[in-house]
Amino acid sequence: MAETADIVCASCGAQLQDRTAFCPACGAAAPGMGSTGAGDGEIAALLAAASRALKRRDWATAREKCTEAIAREHDNRSALALMGDICMEQHRYEDAASWYQLALDQDSENVSVEHKLTRARALARVHPATAADGAKEPGIWRARLVAAQARAEEFVRASSFQKYLALLTIILGAIMFIAILTAAYVRRSDGGAPEVLPTFTPQQSGASGSPPQPSGPPAQISPQGTRTEPKKAAGPSTTALPGAIPQESALLSNLRTNPIVSESGAEIQALWADQRDKSITLVIGARPSSTRKTVLLQAKESASAAFALEPMAERAVVRVNRQLADYTGGTSLNVAFMGDITREKAIQALPPTAPDNQIEALFTRVYWDPSLRVAPQGAFPPLAGNP
């Protein structure tokens, strides 16, 4: 191996031999070692402090500063070589050879470190370390352990570790979300509460976009400021058939006070809704003096008002009850008329002079009591018996 020329410290002018990393006189970094070996900033300051401590033969401080520099930059060849110099000054030749080998691994063409390694190995053979030497440190494995610890600390500080941690958090969150969905599905399959689907139910208010009809006349206020509630006229009961739901009862109440129904003279006795086919069934009470045309008009106008109050309904089944002659020679309440009517037919306008058959044609599945099927045009048969 060729000898290298001596170089001069740029700080104090002292001669440096064997390309030492730091000047033994002032502790400054040797030329050519700052940017590629010792580095800048805090690491350079730590190595300079370690070099000055080595010059004062303050081994503890020198090792402390150098170890801290290696922990921050585990592959800094100047720090590794300086740790070998410290061990050489303490006659710890085996440890010095281990540190020099690590430094040479980072810079295989560094002739100075290679010379130091050769010298340290030679001295180690002449002066082998003994078990009684309590100050000695382990061999090459100790140096490599320090370097491994430094690499681990660098990995923790690196931004890539944060990315891996964020990715792991996302994966764990996705697993938990899937587990929650799976548990919910299992509970549903084991007999949990079924999903509630929207169904057709009568509404409590009027048709969409129109206010509900008033249920009675407003209260009167006397000149003296006394509020007087009007007397309510006796009318049909607002109670629907047994088993009716509140929405049906509310729709029945609104239908009874509807102006269209009141004008036709129909008496709405009962109402219920069928969610299966979106239909409404109306029961109307006809007066004994009602004619066939009156019954048909009352059925049509009552269905029209029901459609206006319940926009979800598509069909109405209308049943008209009336006192009819029975087999005893007297009268009893029976079904006089039944028919189905759609929304389009119910709201169809008819002239006042429309005949019975034209009104009846609006209905389907028409039923008349047998005693009424042969009734004269526009009138019912007398109640005393069949015609």
Q: Tell me, what amino acid is at 175?
A: I
Per-residue model confidence (pLDDT) at position 41: 77
Count CB-CB contacts under 10 A for residue 166. Answer: 10
CA angle 6, 31, 44 (to 5 degrees): 135
CA angle 120, 124, 125 (to 5 degrees): 125
Q: Which residue has the higher pLDDT, 61 or 228?
A: 61
**pLDDT > 90: percent of the chain:** 35
Which residue ranges form the domains of the chain, and what is each CATH number? 7-158 (1.25.40.10), 238-368 (3.10.310)
Q: Which residue has the higher pLDDT, 75 or 193?
A: 75
Q: Tens digits of per-residue pLDDT, 5-53? A: 455 564 555 666 655 666 666 555 565 444 344 455 788 999 999 999 9
**pLDDT > 70: percent of the chain:** 64
CA-to-CA distance for 202 and 306, rounded, in angstroms? 10
CA-to-CA distance for 145 and 304, rounded, in angstroms? 93
62, 118, 342 from 16: Cα distances, Å: 19, 19, 111
Per-residue model confidence (pLDDT) at position 34: 42
The alpha carbon of 175 is separated from its chain's Cα centroid by a whole number of angstroms, namely: 15
- Residue 368 near residue 336, CB atoms below 8 Å: yes
Question: For the residues 331-347, what does the mean pLDDT come to?
Answer: 92
With bands split at pLDDT 50, 70 and 90, how would you rate the model's confidence at 254?
Answer: very high
- Residue 310 near residue 336, CB atoms below 8 Å: no
Tell me the pLDDT of the chain averaged across its residues.
76
Q: Tens digits of per-residue pLDDT, 269-309? A: 898 899 898 999 999 998 887 888 889 999 999 999 999 99
Q: Tens digits of per-residue pLDDT, 215-237? A: 455 555 555 555 555 555 444 44
Nearest to 89 by CA among 122, 59, 50: 59
Which of 5-14, 275-284, 322-331, 361-370 is predicted with the least confidence, judged by mean pLDDT? 5-14
Confirm whether pTM is higher than 0.75: no
With bands split at pLDDT 50, 70 and 90, how would you rate the model's confidence at 242?
Answer: confident
Nearest to 302 by CA among 354, 260, 357: 260
Which of 110-114, 202-206, 361-365 is predicted with the least confidence, judged by mean pLDDT? 202-206
